Amino acid sequence: MGYVFICRKCGDIKSIDLKFGTRYLKCNKCAKPMDWSNAFPPQSVIDFRDTVDSLFELSKKRDKEILNARYDFVKSNHPNFDKTQLDKYINQYEKICEKYPDNDDTLWQSISDEFEYEIRNDITDEQSTTIKVVMDMYPRNQF
């Protein structure tokens, strides 16, 4: 990945690849040495971006783990149930959860009832009960 360095003395812009490092980096116009304090974006921004990227990857990994655990539970009770179908119901459940504040525990029954009402028309009562149990039993992704 290339980085941009800006000379503080003359404003000259130099782009380098990290494989060469910054040890011998000098301005082309005034020959003043440059280091990471001359980098654009600043190193703190690069670190922040890398942290956000890693959190995003961890979130995707956790979503996949939770989906697989839920699917294994549903599959053990209903062998013909499809993973994409389960993902559709998970998305419905998450949309319902977004309507309610996170800090009010009294609303979980309302969320559960509304979710059960929405999915009852699509699948059998036994399947909807299993899906409802799975949604209540497994945690939501906290990322």
The residue ranges of the chain whose pLDDT is under 50 are none
pLDDT the model gives residue 96: 85
Burial label, 90 (beta-carbon count in 10 A; 0-12, 13-18, 19+): buried
CB 93 within 8 A of CB 115: yes
pLDDT the model gives residue 55: 92
Domain boundaries, the chain: 2-40, 52-137
Measured in whole angstroms, the distance separating CA 98 from the mean position of its chain's CA atoms is 16
Global pTM reads: 0.59
Angle between helices 125-137 and 108-119 (to 10 degrees): 150
